Amino acid sequence: MNHYNEGSPLVDIAYLARSEHRVLTLVALTERPRSRSELCELTGVSSSTMRRTLDEFDDRLWIRKDGYQYVATRLGEAITSGMEELIERVETERKLRHVWPWLPDAIGEFPFETWSELTITVAKPDTPYHPVGRFESLLRETTTLRSLRPEVALMDPCFDALHQLIDEGVDTTLIDRPECHTYFISTYPDRSSAMMQQDNFTVLAHDDLPPYGIGLLDECVTISCYDQSSGTVHVLIDTDAPAVREWAKSVYETYRTGARHVEPQKGVK
């Protein structure tokens, strides 16, 4: 009886995970037959190390020898598929781990496959405006814009891009807190007044918004997570995942229904 049939499955998982070249080797052998020297070149390990790895794989019946080459068996293909899925899950978890407390609770309700479709941009000490820059790049490409709680920290650096969108006739609706609208109207009185008189620009106010922002930019959804103490944008998520878009549209429409129009205030300085 093969002794690798004994013990916990964690023994085999730990064996594969202990050295990165083992998973790389098994993946390579599921793609096509390869020689030992080719596998050494591919993984960067010595010939003796690769020989031991191939012997271990052979003992587990994950591979078979085909002339001077090696190829994965169906057992090996099954293990490879499982390890690749596990690695993908861990990579996604690591991406989300440090931003998880900032995210809307609804994100946690989506399946893993949806999590893997999220692009996450985080503000760091050396790149504090990275999330804002990411949003501006998406903003400049959109042909429609619906934004819930865009906030000063997100939209002030993007004001020129927003102004250009309005001038180009992009259909735009912003829903934010009254004090945020007051900031823009007082800071940019002439441009704000001109923009708000455009038929394609709607400004709405709501007194009780969620702690995060939502942007609907064509098929793209953005979620902006704000630092509640400073008001800065800590995390920006963007995705075109249908499930996230349906959720975002539902949240947006809920607050859209309870929002009121903001009129331009001429002469405010």
First to last CA, the chain: 86
Helix axes 189-196, 159-167, angle to 10 degrees: 40
Which amino acid makes up residue 244? V
Could you tell me the CA-to-CA distances from 229 to 13, 117, 176, 232, 233 in Å, in that order?
43, 29, 18, 8, 11
Which pLDDT tens digit goes with each residue over 201-222?
999 999 999 999 999 999 999 9
The pLDDT value recorded for residue 131 is 96
The pLDDT value recorded for residue 6 is 61
Catalogue all structural domains in the chain, each as residue range(s) with its CATH number.
3-87 (1.10.10.10), 98-261 (3.30.870.10)
* pLDDT over 50 at 269, yes or no: no
SS3 content of the chain, % helix, strand, coil (to 5): 50, 20, 30
- Does the pTM surpass 0.75? The reply is yes
The pLDDT value recorded for residue 9 is 87
